[in-house]
C-alpha cells in the first residue's frame, strides 16, 4: 500500500490542503487539478507513480479542503501555487495539469521557467481551437457580465451537470466511480464556494488572452511535453491537444477513448505514459 500523507500548509494566510507521496529526493511531480474537483482526482494515479517520483497534489484555494482565496482570479491561483511549491521545497519539478490547473501552471512557468522540468497536460488547454461548445454559456457571460448571465452559470454547479462532466463521452459510464463527483458536490456546497467558481468562470477570458504568451513560452523554452487527452471532452477538444505540436514539434500527444475526467477510467494507461515520458 502506498504511503500517502495528508497535510496542510499556510501560504500567505490561506490554508492549503495537499497529498504527498513518494521519496523525498526523487524527481518531483506537482499535480494540479481543475474544476470542480480537487486533489482527490489523483487518488488512483498517485499510487502508480509514488515508487519513482516525489509527488504533491494540493487543493487550490477555493477547491476541496483548502481555504478561500483573497481574490477569485487565475493570477491569484498562480500566486498561491507558486508560494505552495516554495513552502514544500519544490524548487524544480515536472507538473501535471488538468482543466483550470493548466492556465494556473502556465502562468507559473512564465514567471519561473527555470523551475519547470516537464509538463504533462491532461485536457489542459492553451489554444483557441481547443475550446468546445461547452464554453458557450461562459462566453455569454464574458460578452455581457450581467447578473442574469452570471446566474445562468449556476447550472454548472449542480449535481446533474457535475455527473454529466464525469460521464459524458465515456463509453462505459459504469466505470466512473460516483465517489468523485459526489465529493465534488460536497465541496461545492461549502459557504462562499459558488461565488469563487462564478468569478473564475468570468476570469477565464483572460486565460484566453494569455494564450499567445503561453505559446511563446512553449516555443522559447521547449519543455518536455506530454499530452494525455480524453478525446470526447466537450470542453477541451482534441485540436487543442494537437496544437501543442505546432509550438513544440517534439511534444508527445496521446488520446484515450474517454471524456473530460480521463483519470476516472484510464489511470493505468496514463500512469504508464508518464513513466515512459519522465523516465
Categorize the per-residue pLDDT at 128 as very low, low, confident or very high, splitting at 50, 70 and 90: very high
Residue with cell 505514459: 273
Report the share of the chain in percent with pLDDT over 70.
Answer: 100
Q: Report how far residue 222's alpha carbon sits from residue 116's, in angstroms, rounded to the nearest whole number.
A: 11
Q: What does the pLDDT average to over 41-50?
A: 98
- Asked if residue 259 has pLDDT above 80, the reply is yes
Answer whether 226's CB lies under 8 Å from 251's CB: yes
Instruction: Report helix, strand or coil for 50.
Output: coil
Smallest CA-to-CA distance from 132 within 231, 13, 20 is with 231
The C-alpha atoms of residue 154 and residue 174 are separated, in whole angstroms, by 27
Calculate the CA dihedral of residues 130, 135, 136, 140 and round it to 10 degrees.
-120
Pairing of strands 5-11, 14-21: antiparallel
Output phi, psi for 126, to 5 deg: -145, 20
Helix extents (H) in the chain: 46-49, 74-87, 101-111, 136-143, 147-152, 159-167, 178-188, 193-209, 211-221, 238-242, 244-247, 263-278
- pLDDT for 70 beyond 90: no
- Give the C-alpha separation, 118 to 93, whole Å: 7
pLDDT at 24: 86
Q: What is the DSSP string of 149-172?
A: HHHHGGGGGSHHHHHHHHHTT-S-
Which pLDDT does position 81 carry in this prediction?
Answer: 98
Query: ω before 36 within 30° of 0 (cis)?
Result: yes
First to last CA, the chain: 22
pLDDT tier, 179 (very low <50, low <70, confident <90, very high otherwise): very high
The CATH classification of domain 4-278, taken from the options 3.40.50.300, 3.40.640.10, 3.40.50.1820, 1.10.1740.10: 3.40.50.1820
- Give tens-digit pLDDT for 216-255: 999 999 999 999 999 999 999 999 999 999 999 999 999 9
Res. 1: pLDDT tops 90: no
The per-residue pLDDT for range 182-199, each reduced to its tens digit, is 999 999 999 999 999 999
Q: What is the mean pLDDT of residues 26-55?
A: 98
30 beta partners: 56, 95
Q: What is the mean pLDDT of the chain?
A: 97
pLDDT computed for residue 2 by the predictor: 80
Q: For residue 36, name the pLDDT band (cuts at 50, 70, 90).
A: very high
Domain borders along the chain are: 4-278
CB 101 within 8 A of CB 30: no
pLDDT at position 72 over 90: yes
Reduced to 3 states (helix: H, G, I; strand: E, B; else coil), residue 23 is coil
- The residues, any chain, with a CB within 8 Å of residue 136's CB and separated by 6 or more, are none
Question: Is this structure's pTM higher than 0.85?
Answer: yes
Contacts 24+ apart (CB under 8 A), 85-89: 85/30, 85/115, 87/9, 87/10, 87/11, 88/9, 88/18, 88/20, 88/56
pLDDT band at 149 (very low <50, low <70, confident <90, very high): very high
Q: What pLDDT sits at residue 205?
A: 97
Query: Could you tell me the three cell numbers for 95?
Result: 507538473
What mean pLDDT comes out for the span 96-100?
98
Rounded percentage of the chain residues whose pLDDT exceeds 90: 98
Predicted local confidence at residue 181, as pLDDT: 97
Q: Which residues are catalytic?
A: 260
Amino acid at each position: 500500500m502506498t504511503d500517502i500523507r495528508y497535510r496542510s500548509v499556510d501560504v500567505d494566510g490561506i490554508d492549503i490542503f495537499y497529498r504527498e507521496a513518494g521519496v523525498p529526493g526523487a524527481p518531483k511531480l506537482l499535480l494540479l487539478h481543475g474544476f470542480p474537483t480537487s486533489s482527490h482526482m489523483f487518488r488512483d494515479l498517485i499510487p502508480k507513480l509514488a515508487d519513482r517520483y516525489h509527488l504533491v497534489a494540493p487543493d487550490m484555494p477555493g477547491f476541496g479542503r483548502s481555504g478561500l482565496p483573497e481574490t477569485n482570479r487565475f493570477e491569484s491561483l498562480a500566486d498561491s501555487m507558486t508560494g505552495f511549491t516554495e513552502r514544500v521545497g519544490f524548487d524544480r519539478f515536472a507538473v501535471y495539469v488538468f482543466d483550470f490547473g493548466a492556465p494556473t501552471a502556465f502562468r507559473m512557468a512564465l514567471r519561473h521557467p527555470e523551475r519547470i522540468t516537464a509538463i504533462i497536460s491532461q485536457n489542459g488547454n492553451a489554444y483557441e481551437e481547443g475550446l468546445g461548445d461547452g464554453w458557450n454559456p461562459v462566453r455569454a457571460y464574458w460578452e455581457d457580465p450581467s447578473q442574469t448571465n452570471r446566474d445562468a452559470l449556476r447550472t454548472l454547479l449542480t449535481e446533474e451537470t457535475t455527473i454529466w462532466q464525469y460521464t459524458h463521452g465515456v463509453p462505459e459510464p459504469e466505470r466512473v466511480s460516483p465517489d468523485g463527483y459526489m465529493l465534488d458536490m460536497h465541496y461545492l456546497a461549502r459557504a462562499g464556494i459558488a461565488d469563487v467558481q462564478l468569478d473564475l468562470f468570468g476570469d477565464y477570458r483572460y486565460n484566453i488572452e494569455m494564450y499567445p504568451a503561453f505559446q511563446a513560452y512553449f516555443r522559447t523554452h521547449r519543455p518536455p511535453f506530454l499530452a494525455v487527452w480524453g478525446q470526447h471532452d466537450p470542453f477541451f477538444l482534441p485540436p487543442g491537444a494537437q496544437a501543442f505540436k505546432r509550438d513544440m514539434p517534439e511534444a508527445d500527444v496521446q488520446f484515450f477513448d474517454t471524456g473530460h475526467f480521463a483519470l476516472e477510467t484510464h489511470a493505468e494507461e496514463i500512469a504508464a505514459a508518464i513513466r515512459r515520458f519522465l523516465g
